[in-house]
Chains A and B, each alone.
Chain A
Amino acid sequence: MAFRYEVRLSGSGGQGLILVGKVLAEAAAIYDGLNATQSQSYGPEARGGASRSEVIISDGDIDYPKAENIDILLALTQEACDKYIVDLKEGGVLLIDSQMVTKIPEGNFQVVAIPIIQSAVERLGKFLVSNIIALGIITKLSGIVSEDSVKHAIRSRVPKGTEEINITAFYTGIELAQKWLDQNGPLNT
């Protein structure tokens, strides 16, 4: 039976989550030979500063286009966390920025709290690469796409001249996720 993996990336406008969605979908579809769809927020929610991007990855056909049984939810703001947690499936992974999301909702899911934005600023001197750090964490935690594919996809999506810092940010994310796994044990997937 074909697997279906749903990722929702949520936060605020300007956090680069649409780009992360595109990179993840292209890594899966172009470089890993999987099926993928990507969609993004629209309408008033996008006007008000909230931002949402979704990626569905499968090794079979993706008939149903909407993500409603999320495997991993990234929330970079409290508002996004509160708003989108409802669609996280039982046992799913809630990945939050530990400084922006301080009130963690209750539920039957696994919480991974990492200071993503702070790490971007402290380690790379740029809050703008927080999105790519988050992508690294998701890649490591989910294992749904290969690191190499994501790396290729990043190089094919970011502006010229910023490739190296983005790749460094990606590996920073991988490292942060590994550290979290070392401290907390493997996720139940």
Chain B
Amino acid sequence: MIQTIDFSTIDLFGRVSALGNHHNKYLYNIEKNFDALVSLIDEKHLFDQFRLLRFSSQPAREMRLITEFIKDRETRMEMLGCYYSLQFLLMNIKALDVLRMNLSTPTDRYDNFQRFLVRTGYDFRLLSGAYMSVLLDVFLPEDTRPDFVVCCVGTRVDQDDIDLGVIDRGIKDRSTITKAFGLLNHEMLKNASTLHFHLSEHVGKSGYSASINEYHQLLDNEIQDFVILSEMLNAVPILGRRDLFRQFKAEILNRYYYQPAQDNRYHEGCLRGLLGEIRDLIMKEASENILIPKRDALRMLKATVVAVKTWKGIDRNTTLEVLDVLLKTDLAHREDYLRIHRALTFFETFRFLYQLFVVQEEEVYLEDEHISDNLQKVALAMGYEDKRYAPAYTQLLIHYQDLQETARRGAERLVRQVDKHLSNITIFNSITKITDEPPNNQGKQINIAKEFIKRSSFFRGTRFWDDVFKLLDREDMILLNRFTGDFMNLPGEQRTALIKTYVRWGRLTPYSLISLITIITRRRPELAESEFIRMFLNEYIYDFEGTHENISRLCHILNFSPRMMTNFLALLNERQLGKLIEIIDRPLWGPDIIMLQNNLLTLLRLYKNSSYYFQRFFQRVFNSYSAYISLLNNEPKFAQIADGLLRNLDNFDTISERIEKLGDYYDFEFLRLGIKIINGGSFEKVDKQFTIFSDNFIQILFELCREEASRELDNDIPKTQDLLAVFAAGGHARSQSFDDDYDLIILLNSDNKKMLSYANRIILKMNRHIIRRSIMTHYRFADRFKNYVTTFSDLKNFFGHPDESAFIDMSQLLGARMIVGSAHFKDAYDKEIVRPFIFDHKAEFISSLKTEISSRWKYHDDLGVIDIKECPGGLRDLENFLFILKANFSITRPISSKLFTQLVTHLPDQQVRIDSLSRHYFFLKHVRDLYHLMISDNDELQKQYLTAIIKPLNKSRDMQLHSAEDLQREIEAAIKQNVDLIHHIFKVIEIG
């Protein structure tokens, strides 16, 4: 009678159906061959020798039995594959059951994860090792077998593939070994996990194996790729000649461990590779849409542990084993190791279970419609339960995010320790530890710039140089001066060649190159414009290869070190910025990187399309609030931050802190609105918002400076209620945005000396703080009356005996807008100053202004440039024209769209003309704003630069301009028409 196996007793098919579809392969093998296998076992009366309903503890023995009683090779392979498939499924079911049991007891979750990973890893290696060993016996029988050792170099628990390194005695055995491993690989692909021979892809010649000599040839003279190193350092022999592995360890592996008082170049290279990888990973911000456990935490954690392992000389293989030792021996950093342990066990378990239950892929796309169901399976297996406040998978995702932060913190803290160790042992110490003393005459002084690059060639491919650059960035600048001096003192050709070498080096490690350039220019700003830095930048930009990898690196640098990146971009000229935009603006794959790419492009375009004047503002914001650079494309968020800065002022204890933050608020708003108008936002809205924030700034600054001045006077504070006011004059009075100067009129309706001194003290303080924002303040009448503050008496005396230029002062007053002051003050001002001295003498005032207009028309005729402010029909003419009408109709309202509307009520017959003037006025102001922000804070428009402002004008004003010539024609037509319209209105109406 044939014995049978009843899988229903263990619900094998039911249990497996809950796992990922990739288990179908194993079910397929079982369905295809299991009955035949059972018959064959039964025929040989070996049923009691096999464990077929539970995971076998002796799979190698059972597989060998199969090979013994099945002689036909093809059948043998089929039956072995079937047996492996069955044991593989039983193993995973066992692992899940044990994990579930352990997690149901009140023990530490992370310890349970560790036990699960260790046990499952052990079982998987036991099973897969047995399968490989039995197959190799078939493909490469013992008696014909050359020497080799098979090392496992990957994570033990990984089932998606098995990473192997095979070491042989040389090329003579290669084809025999490769043929056998080719057959082995095929069987593994069909019935188990694919084998990957990464080490031999990089080391040695054709084949699945490489010799120790080939490792020497590749690794003796250059550190090469750290990924190869970390795989090698994890190698555990599983099959073949152990003596060969011992030799490999002694000759190749041991040199990557720290050896006190010996040559530690290999160890240093290994650390530079690992720390570079860790820093690159820390740079990458957690993604909103995708979870990638390897990228999010595992690589970083493992690299950190391998770095500490080689430093402390810990002879253990897996990351968890090394961590166990460190937790017991390095008590000073126990907390960091515990953090790493928690994160590592969590992410490793998550990744394993996701691949078990869902798919053997690294990326977990959260937008996938089935993701909740799939993650729920993983969450339940990890011990989470549905709660009223959140389902299990939501809790899992929250833990995922938290532990990602934990992983990062743990890794960062340990990296600092490794960095310190690195700075003690580096081979660069002999050139970087220098003093300021002149060189002794006994030997020629080495050129540090050349020597650094020479020595670093051994470390090609590594990306961590922070320890060296920290020395370059020291306050004393001894090393920096020597480095730059050595560089610049080289003869021309040598210097050029060395710059090219540095740039080649920097292609692999852009963070380091950008760091180097920004340290030099920050410490020695005079070099920013030098030929030396210009060549560096040209070489870098024009040689920049726009690959996905290179672009991603730049994007991540911006994300990680926004201040450094903006300092770097600020060094680039327009052509270099243009070139970089051209390179970076290309299709990339992946929503996360596209978001970062857009941020970088926005920033590059901002630098390229901004005047130096505007750059001053955003550079200040970037220096103080660099973290917000990522929000450049998010204007509402930017506005929220600015509002927050304003509301937060009272939370600071000192007045100076409040003033400092008030300044930041100003810069933030200036930047936000600048970007908005450059991007084609509504001119009217921007103008309005600009007026609000700049008025806020002056009002609060006045209050804070008054408070400060009052404190200095103790209790002896004069009462200035309804007597003191601040007026904006000039551009700010007319809501002119983005002006580079601030015209203020400070009026005091009192002759009290003490009050005047107090007011002057306030304004003096205000002045100091406004200038710090790179805005020039002009105090109208200050020159005339030798005081920041002008009293009503001063004005009355002056206007009572006016000189020939008094009409200019009158127009300033007529155009001024009160920012600080009371309604009582304004009434007194209108009654005592405006009405008696301007409105009541409007004929003289109007006549003077009309003469001014016509004389300037003569002067500016045919100057060859468009001075948008001063040219005939320009902004000044329009404003003077408006002053004339204001005086004529006794209107005190400042210049605005409402003033134009009001004028139409006085001159209904001229509505069409006034509307045209209004349209032209705001168009010209818009052009001027854009020109100031994007080209130069100059009112003389250079025709060749007008192209830059066409795009935002077209977008905002719905225009169809195609070229600079189009825009120039539009401006010229507007100003010409303005002249005619003003002339006509003056002619047809009775003025004065």
- Verify B196–A42 contact, CB threshold 8 A: yes
Is B335 close to A, CB under 8 A? no
Q: Which residues of B contact A26 (CB under 8 A)?
A: 25, 189-190
One digit per residue, 1 when the CB lies within 8 angstroms of any chain B CB and 0 when it does not, for chain A 20-53 equals 0010011001100001111110111001111000
Q: Which residues of B contact A105 (CB under 8 A)?
A: none
Give complex CA distance A151, B368 in Å: 21
Q: Which residues of A contact B365 (CB under 8 A)?
A: 128
B269: min CB distance to chain A, Å: 14
Q: Which residues of A contact B552 (CB under 8 A)?
A: 48-49
Residue in B closest to A76 when the chains form the complex, CB atoms: B589
Give complex CA distance A159, B179 in Å: 34
- Verify B21–A65 contact, CB threshold 8 A: no
Give complex CA distance A169, B465 in Å: 47
- Verify B549–A14 contact, CB threshold 8 A: no
- Verify B361–A156 contact, CB threshold 8 A: no
A158: min CB distance to chain B, Å: 6
- Verify B24–A156 contact, CB threshold 8 A: yes
Give complex CA distance A65, B204 in Å: 13
Residue in A closest to B281 when the chains form the complex, CB atoms: A47
Q: Which residues of A contact B183 (CB under 8 A)?
A: 61
Is A11 close to B, CB under 8 A? yes
Give complex CA distance A62, B139 in Å: 13
Of the stretches A132-140, A142-150, A160-168, A179-187, the one at the interface is A160-168
One digit per residue, 1 when the CB lies within 8 angstroms of any chain A CB and 0 when it does not, for chain B 1-42 equals 000000000000000000011101100100000000000000
Is B59 close to A, CB under 8 A? no
- Verify B196–A155 contact, CB threshold 8 A: no
Residue in A closest to B181 when the chains form the complex, CB atoms: A65
Given A12-B590, A44-B227, A79-B548, answer yes or no on A18-B182 (Cβ-Cβ < 8 Å): no
One digit per residue, 1 when the CB lies within 8 angstroms of any chain A CB and 0 when it does not, for chain B 155-184 equals 000000100000000000001001101110
B416: min CB distance to chain A, Å: 23
Which residues 532-580 in B have Cβ within 8 Å of A in the complex?
547-549, 552-553
Q: Which residues of A contact B25 (CB under 8 A)?
A: 26, 30, 156
- Verify A38–B194 contact, CB threshold 8 A: yes
Is A106 close to B, CB under 8 A? no
- Verify B179–A61 contact, CB threshold 8 A: yes
Residue in A closest to B26 when the chains form the complex, CB atoms: A156
Q: Which of B178, B206, B227 is close to A47, meaning CB atoms less than 8 Å apart?
A: B227
Which residues 315-374 in B have Cβ within 8 Å of A in the complex?
358-363, 365, 368-370, 373-374
Give complex CA distance A19, B208 in Å: 22
Is A122 close to B, CB under 8 A? no
Give complex CA distance A66, B549 in Å: 24
Give complex CA distance A97, B175 in Å: 38
- Verify A14–B590 contact, CB threshold 8 A: yes
Give complex CA distance A22, B159 in Å: 13
Q: Which residues of A contact B359 (CB under 8 A)?
A: 19, 157-159
Is A172 close to B, CB under 8 A? no
Is B874 close to A, CB under 8 A? no
Is B185 close to A, CB under 8 A? yes
Give complex CA distance A39, B208 in Å: 12
Give complex CA distance A40, B178 in Å: 18
- Verify B361–A16 contact, CB threshold 8 A: yes
Is B237 close to A, CB under 8 A? no
Is A119 close to B, CB under 8 A? no
- Verify A78–B586 contact, CB threshold 8 A: yes
- Verify A39–B201 contact, CB threshold 8 A: yes
Q: Which residues of B contact A12 (CB under 8 A)?
A: 548, 588-590
Q: Which residues of A contact B190 (CB under 8 A)?
A: 26, 29-30
Q: Which residues of A contact B22 (CB under 8 A)?
A: 156-157
A4: min CB distance to chain B, Å: 12
Give complex CA distance A79, B583 in Å: 13
Is B61 close to A, CB under 8 A? no
Q: Which residues of B contact A66 (CB under 8 A)?
A: 201, 206
Q: Which residues of B contact A14 (CB under 8 A)?
A: 290, 363, 589-590
Q: Which residues of A contact B28 (CB under 8 A)?
A: 30, 156
Q: Which residues of A contact B280 (CB under 8 A)?
A: 47
Q: Which residues of B contact A156 (CB under 8 A)?
A: 21-22, 24-25, 28
Give complex CA distance A163, B28 in Å: 17
- Verify A160–B363 contact, CB threshold 8 A: no
Is A99 close to B, CB under 8 A? yes
- Verify B590–A43 contact, CB threshold 8 A: no
One digit per residue, 1 when the CB lies within 8 angstroms of any chain B CB and 0 when it does not, for chain A 60-73 equals 01111110000000
Give complex CA distance A35, B207 in Å: 17
Residue in B closest to A64 when the chains form the complex, CB atoms: B206
- Verify B548–A161 contact, CB threshold 8 A: no
Is A100 close to B, CB under 8 A? yes
Q: Which residues of A contact B979 (CB under 8 A)?
A: none
Give complex CA distance A44, B549 in Å: 10
Give complex CA distance A38, B161 in Å: 10
A45: min CB distance to chain B, Å: 8
Q: Which of B197, B362, B370 is close to A65, meaning CB atoms less than 8 Å apart?
A: B197
A159: min CB distance to chain B, Å: 4
A180: min CB distance to chain B, Å: 21
Give complex CA distance A62, B190 in Å: 14
Is B186 close to A, CB under 8 A? yes
Residue in B closest to A28 when the chains form the complex, CB atoms: B189
Q: Which of A48, A64, A155 is close to B549, meaning CB atoms less than 8 Å apart?
A: A48
- Verify A50–B189 contact, CB threshold 8 A: no
Give complex CA distance A30, B28 in Å: 9
Is B198 close to A, CB under 8 A? yes
B806: min CB distance to chain A, Å: 68
A71: min CB distance to chain B, Å: 19
Given A30-B28, A61-B179, A77-B589, answer yes or no on A155-B21 (Cβ-Cβ < 8 Å): yes
B343: min CB distance to chain A, Å: 20
Given A14-B590, A66-B206, A128-B365, answer yes or no on A43-B225 (Cβ-Cβ < 8 Å): yes
Q: Which of A16, A43, A61, A160 is close to B227, meaning CB atoms less than 8 Å apart?
A: A43
Q: Which of A25, A48, A158 is close to B21, meaning CB atoms less than 8 Å apart?
A: A158
- Verify A63–B179 contact, CB threshold 8 A: yes
A31: min CB distance to chain B, Å: 9
Is B893 close to A, CB under 8 A? no
Residue in A closest to B206 when the chains form the complex, CB atoms: A64
- Verify B21–A42 contact, CB threshold 8 A: no
Give complex CA distance A65, B368 in Å: 35
Give complex CA distance A66, B182 in Å: 11
- Verify A22–B360 contact, CB threshold 8 A: yes
Residue in A closest to B589 when the chains form the complex, CB atoms: A12
Q: Which of B228, B370, B593 is close to A160, meaning CB atoms less than 8 Å apart?
A: B370
A27: min CB distance to chain B, Å: 11
Is B587 close to A, CB under 8 A? yes
Q: Which residues of B contact A49 (CB under 8 A)?
A: 548-549, 552, 589-590, 593
Q: Which of B227, B277, B362 is close to A42, meaning CB atoms less than 8 Å apart?
A: B227
Give complex CA distance A148, B593 in Å: 36
Give complex CA distance A163, B183 in Å: 31
The 8 closest A-B pairs by CB, nearest first: A48-B549, A161-B370, A156-B24, A12-B589, A43-B227, A159-B359, A42-B198, A79-B547
A-B contacts, 29 listed (Cβ < 8 Å): A12-B589, A14-B290, A15-B589, A18-B361, A25-B194, A26-B189, A29-B189, A35-B186, A36-B186, A39-B197, A40-B161, A42-B198, A43-B228, A44-B227, A49-B589, A49-B593, A61-B179, A62-B185, A62-B186, A63-B175, A63-B178, A64-B207, A65-B207, A65-B208, A76-B589, A156-B28, A159-B374, A160-B374, A161-B374
Given A30-B190, A50-B549: 16 more A-B contacts, CB < 8 Å: A11-B589, A22-B194, A22-B360, A40-B161, A42-B227, A43-B202, A47-B280, A50-B548, A61-B183, A66-B206, A77-B589, A79-B548, A79-B549, A159-B21, A159-B368, A159-B374
B residues with CB within 8 A of A: 20-22, 24-25, 28, 161, 175, 178-179, 181-183, 185-186, 189-190, 194, 196-198, 201-202, 206-208, 225, 227-228, 277, 280, 290, 358-363, 365, 368-370, 373-374, 461, 547-549, 552-553, 586-590, 593
